[in-house]
Amino acid sequence: MAKTLIEVENLSASYRKNTVLHNVNFEVKPGTLTGIVGPNGAGKSTLIKTMLNLHPALTGKVSFFGLPFPKVKKRIGYVPQRGSVDWDFPTDALDVVTMGLYGQIGWLKKTKEKHRKQALSALEKMGMKDYADRQISQLSGGQQQRVFLARALVQNADIYFMDEPLAGVDAATEQAIMTILKELKSIGKTVMVVHHDLQTVENYFDHVLLLNRTVLHHGKTERVFTKENVADAYGGNMRWMGGERQYELHSFK
Amino acid sequence: MTYTAWIILTAALVGLSCGIVGVFLILRKTAMMADAISHTVLLGIVVAFIITREVSGPAMLIGGILAGLLTAFFVQWLHTLNVQHDASMGIVFTTLFAIGVILIATSVGNAHLDVQHALMGEITFIPFHTITIPIIGEIPEAAGLLLLVLVVVLFFIIAFYKEWKITSFDPALAASLGIPVLFMHYVFMGLVSITTVASFDAVGAIMVVAMLITPAAAAYLWTDKLLIMLVLSGTFGVVSSIVGYYIAAWIDTSISGSMAFATGLVFMVSFFFSPKHGLVSKYIRPSKVA
């Protein structure tokens, strides 16, 4: 068994006075691609943010490579939800990707030609090279998400956290993003993705973390992603449609 | 330099520094913090006056920075206690401003400070209060203070340009990269404060809001590049102050009022005629959906 890479112990967090996460415990092995799945309001985004010190934890401990987050933040990449930023900001795609390098460039230093090249090749990888000079509000939702992915790639991190990268994107972008995620996994990176589409979980992720305020089930997809476990996470608020793997969900906020 | 030249130079300095700072106020969606801070610096200035017993530039700057940061801190604090952001702003700045007004009326009450002056400014008197600076010689104190503030603002904006950009665009990513987002917020509020204090004498608390927000909002309509937006906004600020002065001279009215009016004119022209987002260009060639 490989060593544990991410360790979360007894984590809890609240959001606007409501406890949204309590007693969260799990471990993640290196080189895995984990889907974080759960109903709306289950605390999926809060979990990621709390692990990355972007949201205060009430209790608990998170360690990466056996170290607390501040010591390893350069090795961790984060892709926020696309809707979390203002796409009317006066900047272009290349510039947004270059922002992923700001941590490495450091204070008081300017971005150089080599950083620009790195950003450009990340955009190329996401099939967005032709859009480098495009103002970001002029990009479609899928293209904006690719820019975000390119920005994460350029960070060259060891662990990636992505918040709903497949939400509201076109089919081609979904394919492009999944290709990249599998490629990241194949070169030994560890990726955790907040995901909402239950139909694709089995195809996309080798591990699943079923979350509803706490970790209900976590492990290899084929073992954990069963009807019973999913129903458990969604509070039984679901109806099985037709075939074995067709679900329709009714989740409450 | 002539009397008029000093007034125009002072006004142009106000326009330039406010224009530059204003860009980030707009982009960080904290435009109304300018309104809040422009009022609360009055308290800082009054307290500085009570302590030092003189209307001096440096003491006023320090008082203004402290008052501005206090405002930013209280607003943030009330917000974490689940008071709506705009409401907490309204509560904090009116209260602090009221304390300033009460202090002026009760403990300061002399010719140097009065509410009218604080709200509207008195740019016509600027050339009478001079200080002597080595090499340059005798200049109006307000112009000297504005020059100093402009240098400080330019230094911070240029030195931390990357950081301002990323914390404005995507604070979550910035924080995950280890950039102290909240600290940067307070530094920025400090910059807003010193700009406001320095502009205070010239255009007053109300008009400084116009100078901070309107040129930047106009510049936003003309360009998709941050750097160009900064240059444009500064230029709009300068142009508005000069145009405002001549409007005031022409119809013999308040200079600061005319300057604020001129910023409104610049915005209106931009709103109708800017090539990217203007109403007219939208009418002529409907924007393509990408």
Q: Which residue of A has its CA nearest to B160?
A: A108
CB neighbours (10 Å) of residue A222? 10
| pLDDT at residue A154, rounded to an integer | 95
Closest Cβ opposite residue A73 in set B166, B170, B178: B178
Task: Give the relative orientation of helices B255-273 and B181-220 as an angle to the nearest 10 degrees.
Answer: 70
| pLDDT at residue B110, rounded to an integer | 61
A10 falls within a domain: yes
| pLDDT at residue A221, rounded to an integer | 95
Q: Do A73 and B177 touch (CB under 8 A)?
A: yes
Banded model confidence at residue A38, pLDDT cuts 50, 70, 90: very high
Q: Is B115 exposed, middle or buried (0-12, 13-18, 19+ CB in 10 A)?
A: middle
Interatomic CA distance for residues B256 and A97, integer angstroms = 43
Banded model confidence at residue A2, pLDDT cuts 50, 70, 90: low
Interatomic CA distance for residues A38 and A212, integer angstroms = 6
Nearest 5°: the CA angle A116, A157, A186 is 110
Q: Do A108 and B159 touch (CB under 8 A)?
A: yes
Question: Helix and strand tally (H, E) in chain A?
Answer: 10, 11
* Nearest residue to A124 via CA among A92, A142, A101, A147: A147
| pLDDT at residue B231, rounded to an integer | 97
B220 touches chain A (CB under 8 A): yes
Tell me the backbone φ, ψ of residue B213, rounded to 5 degrees.
Answer: -95, -45
| pLDDT at residue B131, rounded to an integer | 83
A21 falls within a domain: yes
Residue A185, both tokens: 């996994």
Residue A50 belongs to what H/E stretch?
helix A44-51
Does A105 score more than 60 pLDDT? yes
B169 touches chain A (CB under 8 A): yes
A111 falls within a domain: no
CATH class of B3-276: mainly alpha
Q: Which residues of A touch B223 (CB under 8 A)?
A: 90
Sign of CA dihedral B221, B222, B225, B229: negative
* Residue A50 belongs to domain spanning: 6-92+158-249
Residue A197, both tokens: 């589409």
| pLDDT at residue B112, rounded to an integer | 63
| pLDDT at residue A242, rounded to an integer | 41
Residue-wise pLDDT for B72-97, tens only, equals: 999 999 988 888 989 999 999 999 99
**Buried b / exposed e across A43-69, counting CB within 10 Å, b at 16+?**
bbbbbbbbbbbbbebeebebbbbeeeb
How many contacts (CB atoms, under 8 Å) link A and B? 80
A147 falls within a domain: no
| pLDDT at residue A4, rounded to an integer | 87
Question: Which domain CATH number covers A79?
Answer: 3.40.50.300
User: Three-class SS of residue A145?
Assistant: helix
Interatomic CA distance for residues B29 and A81, integer angstroms = 19
Closest Cβ opposite residue B223 in set A73, A90, A140: A90
Interatomic CA distance for residues A114 and A19, integer angstroms = 45
Q: Checking DSSP bridges between strand B137-140 and strand B130-133, what pairing results, if any?
A: antiparallel
Distance, in angstroms, between A35 CA and closest chain B CA? 21
Distance, in angstroms, between A185 CA and closest chain B CA? 21
A104 falls within a domain: no
| pLDDT at residue A66, rounded to an integer | 92
Q: Which residue of B has its CA nearest to A84?
A: B170
Does A133 score more than 50 pLDDT? yes
Q: Which one-letter amino acid corresponds to residue B257?
A: G
A129 falls within a domain: no
Interatomic CA distance for residues A215 and A104, integer angstroms = 34
| pLDDT at residue B286, rounded to an integer | 58
Q: Do A105 and B178 touch (CB under 8 A)?
A: no
| pLDDT at residue B287, rounded to an integer | 53
| pLDDT at residue A193, rounded to an integer | 97
* Nearest residue to A159 via CA among A71, A64, A81: A64
Tell me the backbone φ, ψ of residue A67, rounded to 5 degrees.
Answer: -120, 155
* Nearest residue to A82 via CA among A174, A20, A144, A19: A144
Look up residue A243 and give its DSSP letter.
S
Looking only at Cα atoms, what is the longest distance across chain A? 60
Contacts of residue A189, defined as CB under 8 A and 6 or more positions apart, other chains included, come to A31, A157, A158, A159, A160
A82 falls within a domain: yes
Banded model confidence at residue A236, pLDDT cuts 50, 70, 90: low
Closest Cβ opposite residue A54 in set B27, B175, B290: B175
- pLDDT less than 70: residues of chain B: 109-113, 285-290
Tell me the backbone φ, ψ of residue B154, rounded to 5 degrees.
Answer: -60, -40
Residue-wise pLDDT for A56-76, tens only, equals: 999 999 999 999 998 998 899
Interatomic CA distance for residues B163 and B172, integer angstroms = 13
Mutation test of the interface with chain A: which of B26, B84, B162, B168, choosing the one with the most A Cβ atoms within 10 A?
B162
Q: Which residues of A touch B169 (CB under 8 A)?
A: 85-86, 89, 91, 96, 99
Q: Which one-letter amino acid corresponds to residue A237?
A: N
Q: Which residues of B touch A91 (CB under 8 A)?
A: 165, 169, 224-226
Closest Cβ opposite residue B226 in set A90, A111, A140: A90
Portion of chain A with pLDDT greater than 70, in percent? 92
| pLDDT at residue B289, rounded to an integer | 46
* Mean pLDDT confidence for A97-121: 92
Q: Domain total for chain A? A: 1
Q: Do B169 and A103 touch (CB under 8 A)?
A: no
Residue A150 belongs to what H/E stretch?
helix A141-155
* Mean pLDDT confidence for A10-30: 91
Residue-wise pLDDT for A174-201, tens only, equals: 999 999 999 999 999 999 999 989 999 9
Does A246 score more than 70 pLDDT? no
A116 falls within a domain: no
Query: In this structure, are residues A39 and A212 in contact, taking their beta carbons and an 8 Å threshold?
Result: yes
Portion of chain A with pLDDT greater than 90, in percent? 77
DSSP per-residue string spanning chain B: --HHHHHHHHHHHHHHHHHHHHHHHHHTT-HHHHHHHHHHHHHHHHHHHHHHSS--HHHHHHHHHHHHHHHHHHHHHHHHTT--HHHHHHHHHHHHHHHHHHHIIIII-BTTB-HHHHHH--GGGGGGSEEEETTTEEEEHHHHHHHHHHHHHHHHHHHTHHHHHHHHH-HHHHHHTT--HHHHHHHHHHHHHHHHHHHHHHHHHHHHHHHHHHHHHHHHTT-S-HHHHHHHHHHHHHHHHHHHHHHHHHHT--HHHHHHHHHHHHHHHHHHH-TTT-HHHHHHSPPPP-
Interatomic CA distance for residues B261 and B205, integer angstroms = 15
| pLDDT at residue B204, rounded to an integer | 83
